[in-house]
Copies of this chain bind each other. A is one copy, B any other.
Amino acid sequence: MSAPESRTTAAPRPAPRWAREAKPTPEQEDFGPADGAVRRRLYRIIFQHDTRSGLAFDLCLIVAIVASVLIAMIDSVAPLHARHGHVFYALEWGFTIAFTAEYAIRLWIVRSPLRYARSFYGVIDLLAIIPTYASLLLAGSQYLLVVRILRILRVFRLLRLVRFLHEARQLTTALRGSARKIMVFVFAMLAIVTVFGALMYLVEGPEHGFHNIPLSMYWAIVTVATVGYGDIAPGTTLGRLLSSMLILIGYGMIAVPTGIYTAELASSLRARSHEDARRCRQCALAGHEADAHFCRNCGTELDPADGHRDLH
Contacts and interface: CB of A to CB of B under 8 A. Distances in A.
Interface of A: 1-2, 4-5, 7-9, 13-14, 69, 72-74, 76-78, 143, 146-147, 149-150, 152-153, 155-156, 159, 163-164, 167-168, 170-171, 174-175, 180-187, 189, 191, 194-195, 197-199, 201-202, 206, 211-215, 217-218, 221-231, 233, 237, 240-241, 243-244, 247-248, 250-252, 254-267, 269-270, 273, 276-278, 284-299, 301, 304-308, 311
24 contacts: A2-B311, A5-B307, A8-B306, A72-B198, A73-B213, A143-B202, A149-B213, A152-B195, A171-B185, A174-B259, A222-B243, A225-B226, A225-B248, A226-B227, A229-B229, A255-B257, A256-B261, A259-B265, A266-B266, A287-B289, A287-B290, A288-B296, A291-B297, A299-B299
A256 B252 CA distance: 9
A214 B186 contact: no
Contact of A247 (B186, B221, B240): B221
Contacts of A231: 230, 233
Given A218-B240, A292-B296, A229 B230 contact: yes
A69 to B, nearest CB: 7
Contacts of A174: 259
Contacts of A260: 171, 255, 265
